[in-house]
Amino acid sequence: MKRIAKSTLAAVGLDVRLSRNVAQSQVAAWQQKQDALWAPFLKHLDIRTIIDVGANTGQFAELIHRHCPDANIIAFEPLPVCHADLRRALAEFPDSQLISSAVGNAPATAEMNASQFTPCSSLLAGTDLLGEDYPDAAVTETIEVPVVRIDDALQSLPLLDDVLVKFDVQGFEIPAMEGAAETLAKARVVVCEVCFFRRLYQGQPLFDEIYAKLKDLGFTYMGNAEQHKRKSDGRIVEADAIFERLGA
């Protein structure tokens, strides 16, 4: 009956698809768009180790797996609510590991502002601008999480060349990098979420400070992959900035 109905509707120019097929098509189109944005930054590299700092539920892991299918991944994520989905994403990687901690420049236990929109969770308190485009981001509760230095956490783990380090730590980028000096010395690529002219978190560094920090460490700014436009005026306010150590 379904086939007859679809044939009848098709005869008059109507295409009827199951809702799950529409959803799958939308996901495939979104992935294709993402891949087109990231490919220019990755296709010339042979990334073998990915250090995903602020892994959330594995969004970046799933993206990077399509470009670097043979890489292993070490993921840092302090939010317990994210761990089940993250473990499922990491299952696609050989020898993947989850380190259930936040990162900083000294080992500690700290209070994290856990956002209802989990990617916006931070060790820093939000400013009045947090939630400007996504109101759920400003709804938070405080939880206690361990904080580790990346260098300490990776001390006994082998890092296969080439290394990519991704920071998505919602304003805590500079302390995270300070605790990763040895790791960054081995890295070929750094991906860092940046804000350009507005601070969503108290004390958050803007792009210029992150650029200066990574330039001092020998990285060249190569451009942005994905960018986020402000809903109110269309200005680019956030982006995934790519930095590469050239000549390596």
Q: How many whole angstroms separate alpha carbon 84 and alpha carbon 29?
A: 26
Cβ distance 73 to 166 under 8 Å? no
Domains of the chain: 47-244 (3.40.50.150)
Q: How many whole angstroms separate alpha carbon 211 and alpha carbon 217?
A: 10
The model scores a pTM over 0.75: yes
pLDDT, position 14: 53
Q: How many whole angstroms separate alpha carbon 18 and alpha carbon 108?
A: 51
Mean pLDDT by 10 residues, the chain (248 residues): 46 57 76 90 94 97 92 96 96 90 98 97 96 91 98 93 97 98 97 96 97 98 94 92 90
| DSSP state letters, 138-202 | G-EEEEEEEEE-HHHHTTTS--PSSEEEEE--TT-HHHHHHTTHHHHHTEEEEEEEEESS--SBT
